[in-house]
Each structure stands twice: as structure tokens, then as C-alpha cells.
Amino acid sequence: MKILAIETSCDETAIAVLEGEGGFENPKFKLIANNLLSQIEVHREYGGVFPSLAKREHSKNLVPILEKTLKEGNLLQSTEVESFGKKRIEEILEREPELLRSFLYTVPKIKKPGVDYIAVTYGPGLEPALWVGINFAKALSLAWDIPLIPVNHMEGHILSVLYDGKGLSNSNSQFPNKIKFPALALLISGGHTELVLMKDWLQYEIIGETQDDAVGEAFDKIARMMNLPYPGGPEISKLAETKRGVEFENQFNLPKPMIDSPNCHFSFSGLKTSILYKIKNLNLDKNTKAQMAKEFEDTVVNILLRKTKKAIGESNVKTLIIGGGVIANKEIRKAFQEFSEKEKLNLLIPEMKLTTDNAIMIGIAGYFQALRNPKGADINGIEASGNLRLI
């Protein structure tokens, strides 16, 4: 089954084509083409993602990225322009005039590519950004008569571990990325921090989540307090690294909100406020910043580990999956690798390029959703859902 996947939930415009086989028993994925355009530079001066700018960038970039991806996958062939429901497409893309223009100029000349499904992220994320991708996918589905599969972005992050970056994943691999159920997924990104129990394929239960800020958001906000550029996660992590292996006394003594609460929920805003007060009257030289970065990172590792252990203990978990942009953090990776070895847990972490938002993971989730619903969704019923939850 070949899938064309589209992701525009935040500040990455991404399109991929992949092939899945093996069904639920033995899923394998082969990447055919993949392109991603990050908007980080566009948003940097605002210190965060600016929704209307994200929407504008997606509108501008989707058609060129589509062409590039199809070309890369040997799926780009020209055709005589035929009538293809132009009026309906004008309606669908009414609110994205720039996208409509480039769509009408380019897509009618492209022959229907040999893909079985189009998968698109419909939430959670920034609604203006999600709508661009959804409307684009609807227009393509209509123009080419290819069924459309709406995908939950968080499901994408979880299932991204099934792609090992080696073409047909799992095929001859000694360490196949097999999910053994029940599995637990720790999702840590700029917008989410949640522990999701997966009893079987496509069955999710959120058993813990942040009550306020997401982990990535905390990294970004603390970086901002210390005048570090956006996104703050990698900056904090770089600074903290300069203090690893060096003897020094913890001077900040940071709190760990909710660490002993009788549930698997998280809270990071108290930690952020505490740091704000602690640095208020300090001379923020590089040494102080680095020390704070290290203590903050250690505190986060501690909280994430403690809550994950609690969730594992309660549910007889066999596989631990960690996904989302924050797992690019070396210390967090290391801590969970050590923990899983000790506990003899099957740990699955996506390869580096799949930690941030991408379309490969949307294609993988789309594959399973298409197995469950081979006809695809009614395109009129698909809407952006900014706060979509896994169920």
C-alpha cells in the first residue's frame, strides 16, 4: 500500500510517500520520498511559532514540495489538462488564495500518481496551519480520486518508531522495532507531555498528562528567560552539556512539582516560575546560565523518569516508546536507555530525523488507519481539530 502523507500542524511543511506492508502482524515500511521545510528561521524573531505566518508559509510551500516529492519518488508524470472539478476545488481552497493559484497552475498537469491513499494530519496543532494541509489534501483527493485518511499527529509520533530509516524496516533487522503490548508511550514535545497506554494497535488511553506547560514549552520559556534563542531546547541542552562531568555544587535546588502525586500527571509551570524568581537578581553570565541549564535538565529527567516508572508499574508494560521533539535531548535519551536496560524493557525511540514533526510518521499512522478503514473518510467531514486527543 502506497501512501502520500502531508503534515502541516505546526511550523514544518512536510510531504512523504511511503509503502507499507505486512498488516498489523508484521508491519514494514519503505520510504519512497520525503521532504520537509522547517519554518524555524521565519518564527525565530517572534520567539515562538506565529500561527498566521505558519499558515502563509504552508500555503506557499505545499505545491512545490509536492512536486519535488513526487519527482523524487518517480511518481511525477505530466498529463493533458482535463476537467477535474475545478469549481469544487476553488471552494475548498477559497481561504488559501495563494495555494489555490499554485494548485490550479500545477496539479492539473500532473498525472494521477500511483498511490493508494492520501493521509493528512487533522490535529492536534495550530488550527490555521492544520486547515491548510487538510484543504490541500482534500483538493488532491478530489482532483485525483484518491481516498483520504485523516491522521492524529500524536499517533504519528508514537508509530514513528516503526520506521528504522533503512528502507524496508524490520526486514532483515536483528532488532526489529516490534511493539509488544501493552505498550506505553511517553510523548514529549513543544505542545504535549503525556503518557499514553496502548493495549493494542490503535487503542489508546491517556493515563498521565501535563496540567500546565509541556516539557518542550518549559525548555523554550526558560531559554527565553535567559536570553537564549528560540527554540530553547537545543540551546539549554548545549549549555548544560558544558557542565557535565564537572564538579560543582547545586546552587539552585529546583523544585519537582507533582513528583510525589498519586497519579501519572506532570506539572512544569511551578518549576518555570521558581527559575524566574531565582534568576531575577542574578548576573546571568555564561557560567550561571550553564549551571541553571544543567540543573533544569536534570530536574526534567528526574520528573519524566519517575512518572514513567509509575505508569509502567501500574500497567505491566512490555514496550516503552518515546516520541516528540524533546527526545532529541541527549540526557533524556541516555536516562531512558539506561532505565530500560536495567528493567529489561523493550525501548523504542525514533531515529533522530523522526523526532521532530515530519510526514513519514503521518504516513505510518495513515497505513494502520487505512487498514482499519479501507474506504477512507468522507472528505466533507474532515475538519481541523486543534485539541484533538488520542482515544
- What is the footprint of Zn ion within residues 144-163 (CB under 5 A)? none
Binding mask 353-372 for ligand KG4 (x = CB under 6 A): ---xx---------------
The entry of Zn ion, ligand KG4, none near residue 326 (CB within 5 to 8 angstroms by kind) is: ligand KG4
Is residue 224 within 8 A of residue 190, CB to CB? The reply is no
301-339 b/e (C-beta count within 10 Å ≥ 16 → b): bebbbbbbebbbeebebbbbbbbbbbbbbebbbebbeeb
Q: Binding to ligand KG4 (CB under 6 A): which residues in 1-60?
A: 10
Q: How far is the CB of 369 from ligand KG4 (least distance, A)?
A: 20
Please tell me what DSSP assigns to residue 149: E
Q: Which is nearer to Zn ion, 135 or 189 (CB)?
A: 189
The size of the interface with ligand KG4 (CB under 6 A), counted in residues, is 19
Are 350 and 163 contacting, i.e. CB atoms less than 8 angstroms apart? yes
Q: Rounded to 5 degrees, what are φ and ψ at 388? A: -50, 135
Contact residues for 25 (Cβ-Cβ < 8 A; gap 6+): none
Among 61, 81, 65, which residue's Cα sits nearest to residue 73? Answer: 65
Residue of 11, 57, 235, 357 that binds Zn ion (CB under 5 A): 357
Q: Report the site for ligand KG4 in 202-221 (rule: CB under 6 A).
A: 216, 219-220
By the rule CB under 5 A, 12 interacts with Zn ion:
no
Q: By CB under 6 A, tell whether 191 contacts ligand KG4.
A: yes
Tell me the three cell numbers of residue 190.
513543544
Minimum CB–partner distance for residue 89 and Zn ion (Å): 29
Closest to 108 (Cα-Cα) out of 81, 142, 139 = 81
Instruction: Report yes or no: 93 and 103 within 8 Å, Cβ to Cβ.
Output: yes
From the list ligand KG4, Zn ion, none, partner contacted by residue 57 (C-beta under 5 to 8 A by kind): none
Task: Identify the helix (H) or strand (E) that includes residue 34.
Answer: strand 28-38
> Given candidates 8, 69, 135, 189, which one binds Zn ion under the rule CB under 5 A?
189
**Distance (Å, whole) CA 31 – CA 353:** 13
Q: Which span (74-82, 140-148, 228-236, 337-345) binds ligand KG4, by CB under 6 A?
A: 228-236
Q: Is residue 213 part of the contact set for Zn ion (CB under 5 A)?
A: no
Least distance between ligand KG4 and beta carbon 300 (Å): 8
Write down the least CB distance from residue 296 to ligand KG4, Å: 10
**Number of Cα atoms under 13 Å in the Cβ half of residue 300:** 33
The C-alpha atoms of residue 163 and residue 20 are separated, in whole angstroms, by 10
Supply 193's cell numbers. Answer: 507531555
Give helix then strand counts, H and E, for the chain. 12, 10
Least distance (Å) between residue 283 CB and ligand KG4 = 25
Least distance (Å) between residue 344 CB and ligand KG4? 27
Residue numbers at the binding site for Zn ion (CB under 5 A): 189, 357
Q: Which parts of this chain interact with ligand KG4 (CB under 6 A)? A: 10, 189-191, 216, 219-220, 231-234, 237, 324-326, 328-329, 356-357
